[in-house]
């Protein structure tokens, strides 16, 4: 399947993507994770992205679209993928459509995760991520690691993201409403959108997502 995941910051896109990608045997492609990997490796692309991310603004399309397309090429997009955090504005959505068309493929669905703003603020404030693996995501209250600050799965150190400060989160939410929400309408015109509530325990949301995706197939 070829799927796009959308939802506000902290909705649980990364958390759900890890389970969905495993269940569906497709690669999880997160532009946020790709940027963070570039930053920690000190690449030129990482240097270009860092200031935008720290402010909670979108990294310019000139940088983002090329990076996403390279990753899709590597994954062999025809075999399926789960895109998390891309596209994030209408220009990126059009670029993705053009990419898919060039490759003779199309999307099967756009999964839209709905969560009230008060909940995403709580989720982001308590989030802790593993330094070794970006898909090892914890929460100080909702998904507590057995030992404070240590990843249950690989023993890596847990850290808080630089853009998870209150001011940056406020801007990320504004950017989401202004730039990203309009792509939901864009995809509704292609009849691709399935919206689910992302409230409740993580496995419940995964089940809801799997059911919705089966209906979209
Ligand atoms: P990105 O990394 O994509 O961040 P985001 O969209 O803000 O989303 P988050 O990673 O904050 O949240 P999430 O929905 O994945 O939630 P998670 O699963 O971690 O982007 C970061 C930045 O990179 C952007 O601001 C931008 O600068 C740049 N960027 C990226 N893509 C770009 C693009 N295409 N164009 C331009 N710039 C781009 O969950 C959050 C917490 O909640 C965790 O602690 C988790 O354990 C917990 N949780 C999850 N589910 C539940 C549940 N059901 N119940 C209780 N707790 C839960
Ligand atoms: Zn880990």
Atom of ligand 1 nearest to the CA of 128: 44
Query: Ligand 1 centre and the CA of 13: distance in Å?
Result: 6
* 214 belongs to the catalytic site: no
Peptide bond into 87 cis (omega under 30): yes
The per-residue pLDDT for range 100-115, each reduced to its tens digit, is: 999 999 999 999 999 9
The 8-class DSSP code of residue 156 comes to P
* Cβ–Cβ under 8 Å, residues 38 and 56: no
- Residue whose C-alpha is closest to residue 47's, from 59, 58, 29: 59
What local confidence, expressed as pLDDT, does residue 152 receive?
Answer: 96
Give per-residue pLDDT as tens, 48-106.
999 999 999 999 999 999 999 999 999 998 899 999 999 999 999 999 999 999 999 99
Of 71, 127, 128, 208, the catalytic one is 127
Give one DSSP letter per residue of 90-109, joined into a string: HHHHHHHHHHHHHTT---SE
Assess whether pLDDT exceeds 80 at residue 217. Answer: no
- Among residues 88, 123, 128, 208, the one annotated as catalytic is 88
- Known binding residue 175? Answer is no
Give the tens place of pLDDT for each residue, 160-180.
999 999 899 999 999 999 999
CB atoms within 10 A of CB 108: 14
The helix (run of H) or strand (run of E) holding residue 217 is: none
Domain ranges of the chain: 2-115+179-216
What whole-number distance in Å separates Cα of residue 112 and Cα of residue 36? 23
Residue 206 is labelled as binding a ligand: no
| Per-residue pLDDT at 143 | 94
Beta bridge pairs of residue 110? 4, 193
Residue 88 catalytic? yes
Q: How confident is the model at residue 192 (pLDDT cuts 50, 70, 90)?
A: very high
The residues, ordered by sequence, that sit 6+ positions from 18 with a Cβ below 8 Å of its Cβ are 28, 135, 137
Of ligand 1's atoms, which has the minimum distance to the CA of residue 123?
Answer: 42
Pocket probe for ligand 1: among 4, 5, 8, 10, the residue whose CB has the most ligand atoms within 8 Å is: 10
Is the pLDDT confidence value at 122 over 80?
Answer: yes
In this prediction the pTM is: 0.95
Burial 34-67 (b: 16+ CB within 10 A, else e): bbbebbeeeeebbebbbebbeebbbbeeebbbeb
Q: What is the number of residues in the chain? A: 217
Q: Is 87 marked within a binding site? A: yes
Class of the domain covering 2-115+179-216: alpha beta
User: What is the band of 215 on the pLDDT scale with cuts at 50, 70, 90?
Assistant: confident
């Amino acid at each position: 399947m070829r799927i796009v995941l959308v939802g506000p910051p902290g909705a649980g896109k990364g958390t759900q993507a890890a389970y969905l990608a495993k269940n569906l045997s497709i690669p999880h492609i997160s532009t946020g994770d790709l940027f963070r990997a570039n930053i920690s490796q000190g690449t030129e692309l990482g240097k270009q992205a860092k200031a935008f991310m720290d402010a909670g603004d979108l990294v310019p399309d000139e940088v983002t679209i090329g990076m996403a397309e390279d990753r899709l090429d590597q994954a062999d997009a025809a075999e399926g993928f789960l895109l998390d955090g891309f596209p994030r504005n209408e220009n990126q959505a059009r670029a993705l459509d053009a990419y898919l068309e060039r490759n003779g493929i199309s999307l099967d669905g756009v999964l839209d995760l709905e969560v009230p703003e008060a909940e995403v603020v709580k989720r982001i404030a308590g989030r802790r991520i593993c330094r070794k693996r970006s898909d090892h995501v914890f929460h100080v209250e909702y998904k507590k690691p057995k030992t404070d600050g240590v990843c249950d799965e690989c023993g890596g150190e847990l850290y808080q993201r630089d853009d998870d400060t209150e001011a940056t989160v406020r801007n990320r939410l504004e950017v989401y409403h202004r730039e990203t929400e309009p792509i939901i309408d864009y995809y509704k015109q292609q009849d691709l959108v399935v919206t689910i509530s992302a409230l409740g325990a993580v496995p419940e949301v995964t089940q809801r997502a799997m059911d919705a995706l089966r209906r979209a197939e």
